[in-house]
Amino acid sequence: MKIYLTFDVEIWCGGWSDLDRRFPASFDRYVYGRSPKGDYALPKTLEILDRHGLKGVFFVEPLFAARFGVDRLATIVNLIRAGGHDIQLHLHPEWTDEIRPLPFVGATVKRQHLSYYTLDEQVALLTMGLDLLAQVGCSAVTAFRAGSFACNHDTYHALRQVGIGIDSSLHAVLPHSGPDLRDKIDFLHPLEFEQIRILPMTVFRDGLGKRRPAQVGACSFAEMRDAIESAVTRQAAHFVILSHNFEMLKPGLSEPDRFVVARFEALCRYLGDNRGRLTAATLSGEPIKIGAPIDTALADARWPGTLWRLGEQAMRRVI
Ligand SMILES: [Zn+2]
């Protein structure tokens, strides 16, 4: 089974006022995450992957660079590229109205989700994102993920127009992901739609029977391991895991969250130890196998893993 370790890489400034003053410190936190214990944003993420011989797929958000300069984007991309990882496109259209000059006439008001933009506007944003990445030497982008997974039907027309053939923007648990596609396509298994190969975010059933996305910060390691093994048993071809550049940091701080660090370390160790059976794949490698497995039931985790996660959540609140 192919495991896609995907990371959405983005910068936030903790609000949209006073951006120019806030940006430098935000960039430092989101890119480096410096603390006395180490740099727990991108550097630590890359170090852990490398230590276990794993490659990741980094969906990099470039629109911020249309405001703050491509040198900043180059810093991010160079860190990732040094490890030989996949660099693909992520877009947070929240940046659109902060770009000077405005990228198109209707960009004066902040609109969060890509699905709030017309087809032509989506094409303009995707083109701008690809151009920014090309300016820092990433001209082989083949895959896309919408910010907050907030794609819609038009996104697939737009992707085709700009020549991107792979998408990973479907998220079954988030209602704003593909709201006009819910009764048209399968959100749980790889499929082809509007000539785009779609690799949806993996969702499994936790030990309490609830649907849960395979996100590093949201699952205990035991839940993730159970779900992976359960997906193998169901002969699934793909398993998509989500994390972010800042997921090993405590919310709002430049300080490691030791629970998430331990989960990510354990996950990478597990994948490294099971290589051959489980392959950490990239999206510029072999094509995605389309279709549902013979057993289409959701992968599941057992209750001890879920109980462990609930315990970790309680501990995180007090530590
Ligand atoms: Zn994002």
Question: 276 C-alpha to center of ligand 1: Å?
Answer: 30
pLDDT tens-digit series, residues 216-272 = 999 999 999 999 999 999 999 999 999 999 999 999 999 999 999 999 999 999 999
Cα 218 to ligand 1 centre (Å): 15
In angstroms, rounded to a whole number, what is the distance separating the alpha carbons of residues 102 and 119? 17
Give 246 Cα–ligand 1 centroid separation in angstroms.
Answer: 11
Give the number of other CB atoms < 10 A from CB of residue 6. 27
Render pLDDT for 26-43 as a digit per residue (tens, 0 to 9): 999 999 999 999 999 999
Q: Ligand 1 centroid vs 233 CA: distance in angstroms?
A: 31
Cα of 12 to ligand 1 centre, how many Å? 10
Q: Look at residue 215 and tell me whether its pLDDT is greater than 80.
A: yes
> Cα–Cα distances in Å, from 66 out to 36, 103, 111, 242?
32, 9, 17, 26
Closest CA to 65 of 109, 23, 4: 23
End-to-end CA gap in the chain? 37
Q: How much distance in Å is there from the Cα of 209 to the middle of ligand 1?
A: 27
Minimal CA–CA distance to 224: which of 281, 309, 313, 311? 309
Distance from residue 10's CA to the centre of ligand 1 (Å) = 6
Both tokens of residue 278? 């489980």
Ligand 1 centroid to residue 295 C-alpha, Å: 31
Q: Is residue 132's pLDDT more than 80?
A: yes
Taking residues 104-130, report their average pLDDT: 97
Above 90 in pLDDT, residue 71?
Answer: yes
Cα of 306 vs centre of ligand 1, distance in Å, is: 26
Residue-level pLDDT at 118: 97
What is the distance in A from the centroid of ligand 1 to the CA of 64? Answer: 12
CATH, range 2-318: 3.20.20.370
Label residue 289 by pLDDT band (50, 70, 90): confident
What pLDDT score was predicted for residue 286? 79
Tell me the CA–centroid distance for residue 14 and ligand 1, in Å.
14
Cα 140 to ligand 1 centre (Å): 20
pLDDT of residue 314: 87
The span from the CA of 74 to the CA of 317, in Å, is: 36
- Predicted pLDDT of residue 285: 78
CA 96 to ligand 1 centroid distance, Å: 14
Mean pLDDT of the residues in the chain = 95
Instruction: Please give the full DSSP string across 117-174, using - where no structure is assigned.
Output: S-HHHHHHHHHHHHHHHHHTT-----EEEEGGG---HHHHHHHHHHT--EE----TT-
- Determine the distance separating the centroid of ligand 1 and the alpha carbon of 26, expressed in angstroms: 15
* pLDDT value for 295: 82
Q: What is the pLDDT of residue 152?
A: 98
Q: How far is the CA of 13 from the centre of ligand 1 (A)?
A: 14
Kindly give the distance from the C-alpha atom of residue 1 to the centroid of ligand 1, in angstroms, as a whole number. 26
Contacts 24+ apart (CB under 8 A), 213-217: 213/171, 213/173, 213/242, 214/239, 214/240, 214/241, 214/242, 215/241, 215/242, 215/243, 216/241, 216/242, 216/243, 216/247, 216/260, 216/263, 216/264, 216/267, 217/243, 217/244, 217/247, 217/257, 217/260, 217/263
**Tens-digit pLDDT profile for residues 150-193:** 999 999 999 999 999 999 999 999 999 999 999 999 999 999 99
Distance of CA 219 from the midpoint of ligand 1 (Å): 18
**Looking at the DSSP assignment, which residues form a beta bridge with residue 203?**
213
Do residues 85 and 49 touch, judged by C-beta distance below 8 A?
yes
Statement: residue 292 has pLDDT above 90: no
- Quote the ligand 1 centre to 6 CA distance (angstroms): 11
The one-letter code for the residue type at 32 is Y
Say what percent of the chain tops pLDDT 70. 100
Mind listing the pLDDT tens digit for each residue in 9-24? 999 999 999 999 999 9
